Amino acid sequence: MKHTTKHVLVILSAVLSLLVITSCPEPHVHTWDNGIVTVPYCFQDGEITYTCTTCGEKKVEKVSAVGHHADYLSEWDVRDVNGSKIQYKRCPICHSDDSEHLFGEEFAHLFNVNNLGALTPKDLGAISGSIMIPTIVGEKVVTSIANYAFDDADELQSVEIPLSVKTIGNYAFRGCTGLTNITIPNEVTSVGESAFYRCNGLTSVTIPASVSSIGLHAFGDTYKSSITTVVFEYGTVSIPYKAFNDCISLVSVSIPDTVTTIGGYAFNRCLSLDNISLPEGLERIEDDAFYSCSFSSITIPSSVSHIGKAAFWNCNNLTTVTYENDLTHWISSTPQSPAIRSGCTIVCTDGEIYGPY
């Protein structure tokens, strides 16, 4: 019995010694490590578990759930629905359907859409500032902006149009005098007559390669147009008939080398257009394309095989046309002469002739 008691006392003594060695010094201030993070889910809290580097004690701090993250994505995803491109964002953490955010959905309550997909505002007076045209209203995909949809919405300043839209109707934004920015997506094929007529705050516009038709005075207000800069995106094949007719403030046009045709009256009476570069690969310059422009010289690439009647007529500052081909090709390219005004020198690779021609 004495042996057993002695044995127990030895064990207790050892345990007490161990406790003394591993216990925290007193007084003790914890020094916490950087912690182990359990990331919060959309609607599930996370936590950070810290450990004292001196004694090993742990503490846990709650990290609150943050909800869906879709609104913080910078790029829109796109899917095809019956031939229309639908832009959406989805939470990158949980990827759930209920986190889906459609392009412009916060503005959907402002609009009606008919069975043909044409969008109109419910109350034009409620349209102001910057808006995004919704890609879906109710269960209907928006495929066009109706004729007269935003006619005289003079409080409207900026518009983003979704990829689902293929047509901008006649007079759609006519008289939107406060409009300074418009984004036309690369799915739009047609911009209607006078679509941006009297949008006198709009100074620049980019035309995507998908646009094949631009209506009369779409961007021009006779003798009042404010457009100064036009960019045609790479991939554009043809600049439509009367595309920027009467845009008297236009001074800069960027034409990519994919363009083969400049339509009739495309830049007719662009009175401030005093410099333009025509791309290699251009084949046709149609009637009155640059009638009454202000440049003093122009170079026409050798690829051009057709120059329409009065294409450069009434360009009163024009003194020199350089045609990068020979006289024979010049004569054959201008069957409906005169294309060039009287007094202008036409310089070809093998000689010169003088307008009118």
User: Residues 295-306: pLDDT tens digits?
Assistant: 999 999 999 999
Whole-number average pLDDT of the chain: 87
Residue 353 inside a domain? The answer is yes
Residue 259 inside a domain? The answer is yes
Is the Cα torsion angle 100, 106, 109, 115 positive or negative in sign?
Answer: negative
Q: Distance between CA 82 and CA 64 in Å, rounded?
A: 41
Residue 222 inside a domain? The answer is no
What CA–CA distances, in Å, run from 205 to 161, 196, 220, 270?
A: 14, 11, 12, 15
Contact 94, 65 (CB under 8 A): no
Tokens of 136: 């879906």
Per-residue pLDDT, 10? 41
Residue 181 inside a domain? The answer is no
Q: Which pLDDT band, with edges at 50, 70 and 90, does 342 fall under?
A: confident
Residue 265 inside a domain? The answer is yes
Checking if the pLDDT of 12 tops 60, the result is: no
Burial of 107 (0-12, 13-18, 19+ CB in 10 A): middle
Stretch 277-303: mean pLDDT: 96
Prediction pTM value: 0.76
Per-residue pLDDT, 71? 61
Q: What are phi and psi of 206, to 5 degrees?
A: -110, 125
CATH at residue 290: 3.80.10.10
Q: Distance between CA 145 and CA 166 in Å, rounded?
A: 9
Tokens of 9: 């006392």
Which residues are CB-contacts of 237 (< 8 A; sequence separation ≥ 6)? 209, 258, 259, 260, 261
Q: Distance between CA 194 and CA 169 in Å, rounded?
A: 9
Tokens of 73: 């994505």
Comparing 94-98, 231-235, 277-281, 336-340, which segment has the lowest mean pLDDT? 94-98
Residue 200's nearest CA partner among 217, 215, 178, 216 is: 178
More confident residue, 320 or 222: 320
Residue 335 inside a domain? The answer is yes
Most confident option among 165-174, 325-334, 347-356: 165-174
Per-residue pLDDT, 26? 63
Contact 51, 33 (CB under 8 A): yes
By percentage, how much of the chain surpasses pLDDT 90?
A: 63
Contact 200, 178 (CB under 8 A): no
Q: What are phi and psi of 330, to 5 degrees?
A: -60, -50
Q: Which pLDDT band, with edges at 50, 70 and 90, does 17 fall under?
A: very low
Checking if the pLDDT of 8 tops 60, the result is: no
Tokens of 44: 């599930």
Tell me the per-residue pLDDT of 304-318, one tens digit each, with 9 for 90 and over.
999 999 999 999 999
Checking if the pLDDT of 150 tops 50, the result is: yes
Residue 245 inside a domain? The answer is yes
Residue 41 carries which DSSP code?
B
Helix, strand, coil shares, percent, the chain, to 5: 10, 30, 60
Checking if the pLDDT of 340 tops 50, the result is: yes
Tell me the per-residue pLDDT of 40-74, one tens digit each, with 9 for 90 and over.
877 788 999 999 998 889 999 998 887 776 666 66
Strand 84-89 to strand 77-81: parallel, antiparallel, or no bridges (unpaired)? Answer: antiparallel
325-334 contacts at long range (C-beta below 8 A, 24 or more positions apart): 325/349, 326/350, 326/351, 327/351, 327/353, 329/302, 329/305, 330/357, 332/305, 333/304, 333/305, 333/306, 333/307, 334/307
Structural domain that includes position 344: 236-357
Per-residue pLDDT, 16? 41
Stretch 313-333: mean pLDDT: 94
Per-residue pLDDT, 281? 94
Which residues are CB-contacts of 43 (< 8 A; sequence separation ≥ 6)? 65, 67
Per-residue pLDDT, 65? 84
Q: Which pLDDT band, with edges at 50, 70 and 90, does 39 fall under?
A: confident
Checking if the pLDDT of 3 tops 60, the result is: no
Q: What domain count does the chain have?
A: 1
Q: Distance between CA 63 and CA 47 in Å, rounded?
A: 5
Residue 310 inside a domain? The answer is yes
Comparing 164-168, 207-211, 285-289, 352-356, which segment has the lowest mean pLDDT? 352-356
Q: Which pLDDT band, with edges at 50, 70 and 90, does 222 fall under?
A: low
Per-residue pLDDT, 25? 55
Element (H, E) at 352: strand 351-354
